[in-house]
Amino acid sequence: MHHPVVTVAPEGVYFADRRVRPQDVPRILDDYGVPRSQTIHIRVDPRLRHSPEPNFLMACLAKNGYTRPILVSDRHAVSETIGPVPRQFETWSRDDTPDPLPSRGASRGKKR
């Protein structure tokens, strides 16, 4: 499911090229039917790299239950999930456990 891009620019927060208040973004996402567990890409203008505005928007989303907002730049890569990645497991048994190395103290002798 795709939704219009949320953008934070020096002029304000935009949703689908419409200027909105950051506090209204969670309600707008609800209106679009975006699940709270979906990743929300928030495009941040490079001029706002060290600005509090993107973090304020992320706080508004978190307060309303959106658990996966991420800040992205124009250079971010889009990826899609195509299915679970198969994991390869090695078999292991206690017989394969190597003998422990001698401790450092054992080779020097005890000092009294």
pTM for this model (two decimals) = 0.60
Pairing mode of beta strands 40-44, 69-72? parallel
| Structural domain count, the chain | 1
Does residue 79 form part of some domain?
A: no
Q: Residue 62 contacts by C-beta under 8 Å, 6 or more apart in sequence?
A: 69
Model confidence pLDDT, tens digit, residues 29-72: 998 888 888 888 888 888 887 788 988 999 999 999 998 888 88
Range of the domain at 27: 6-72
Q: Can you point out the beta strands (E) in the chain? A: 6-9, 12-15, 18-20, 40-44, 69-72
Quick one: pLDDT at residue 77? 44
Does residue 93 form part of some domain?
A: no
Q: For residues 21 and 13, is the Cβ–Cβ distance under 8 A?
A: yes
